[in-house]
Every structure is written in C-alpha cells, then in structure tokens.
C-alpha cells in the first residue's frame, strides 16, 4: 500500500476526497450522504465541498439549508434501524 504521508488536519485534501468517496457510495446504495454530519468548526455547518458534492450527485435542493437538512433527515431515518 502506498504511504500517503501524515494527516495534515481538517484542510487536508485527502480528507475531503475520502468524504466524497464514502458519501458517493452511500448515495449509490440509496442512503444519505454521510458527509452531512461533518461540520466546520467555524459555524457548525458543512463546508462548501459538501454542497458541491450534492450538486455533482444531483441531490442539491433549492438552497444549502434545505439540502443539508434533507441529508440529515435521511441519515436519522436509516441508521437507527441499521446499527
């Protein structure tokens, strides 16, 4: 396995890429995007990358708030019954 180096913190692009991969796979399986629960320290909301991914996946709603709440609702509906 290739050594990717030490984790460089929350702005490490590898973290963002990984979140996108995981969320994309979850959406493919009919579940909500897990990256919806990853929020920034500054405002306790997802970063711009989350909303960019939602657009790429065709899941973006009328605005950021509606999009985020929709994903959170799906997560809270699915995961309690599947732990």
For residue range 38-70, list pLDDT tens digits in order: 999 899 999 999 999 999 999 999 999 999 999
Task: Return d(Cα 82, Cα 39) in angstroms, integer.
Answer: 23
- Predicted structure pTM score: 0.82
Overall size of the chain counted in residues: 83
Is the pLDDT at 75 greater than 80, yes or no? yes
Whether 47 contacts 19, CB under 8 Å: no
2: pLDDT confidence band, cut at 50, 70 and 90?
low
Residue 62 CB partners (closer than 8 Å, separation 6+): none
Task: Return d(Cα 59, Cα 66) in angstroms, integer.
Answer: 11
């Amino acid at each position: 396995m290739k050594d990717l180096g030490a984790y460089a913190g929350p702005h490490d692009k590898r973290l963002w890429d990984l979140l996108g991969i995981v969320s994309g796979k979850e959406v493919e399986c009919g579940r909500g995007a897990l990256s919806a629960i990853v929020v920034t320290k500054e405002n306790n909301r997802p970063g711009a990358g989350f909303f960019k991914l939602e657009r790429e996946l065709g899941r973006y709603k009328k605005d950021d708030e509606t999009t985020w709440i929709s994903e959170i609702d799906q997560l809270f509906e699915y995961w309690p019954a599947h732990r």
